[in-house]
Amino acid sequence: MPEPILVSACLLGLHTRYDGAQKQDKAVLDYLSANDYLPIPVCPEQLAGLATPRDEVQFTEGDGTNILAGSGKVATRSGLEMSTAFVHGATETLEICRLTGCQTALLKERSPSCGVHMVYRQGERVPGMGVTAALLKHEGIALLSEQDIPHSSSAGK
């Protein structure tokens, strides 16, 4: 029986990104198939009730770990603070993870929700985790990004 794995929906080809696009990654699809994973698609920002398309969000302070500790911030380009919504989306994603028995998540790098190793802060790419990635890691879920998959075709944001 395939093992369930939480996967950022955009990596599977669903149009869930802030700009309404997708980031389907053939290397991710091949990895899932080769390892007999059952992908459970999630978009924490949609789970938070945010529309698609929606305003781009970046960290203005800290990263996801800081937000969970009450000290970081994410906001739209126009300055609308979004930390509460992002924590809500992370919590909903964790609930799906628990309900489906996922022990691993494969998430979209550089996303303010899903970034595993890198995020954007004030327009700069910096080391850090998205809000959902930080919560999942805190709860013991193993994390990968598409950048951890050999020969990933993903580029950009």
Label residue 35 exposed, middle or buried (CB < 10 Å: 0-12, 13-18, 19+): exposed
95 part of a folded domain: yes
Domain hosting 81: range is 3-148
> Among 58-67, 89-98, 146-155, whose mean pLDDT is lowest?
146-155
56 part of a folded domain: yes
Provide the mean pLDDT of the chain: 94
Q: How many domains are there within the chain?
A: 1
Q: Confidence class of residue 154 from pLDDT cuts 50, 70 and 90?
A: very low
154 part of a folded domain: no
37 part of a folded domain: yes
Q: Using alpha carbons, list the distances in angstroms from residue 82 to 31, 109, 156, 157.
A: 33, 19, 23, 19
108 part of a folded domain: yes
91 part of a folded domain: yes
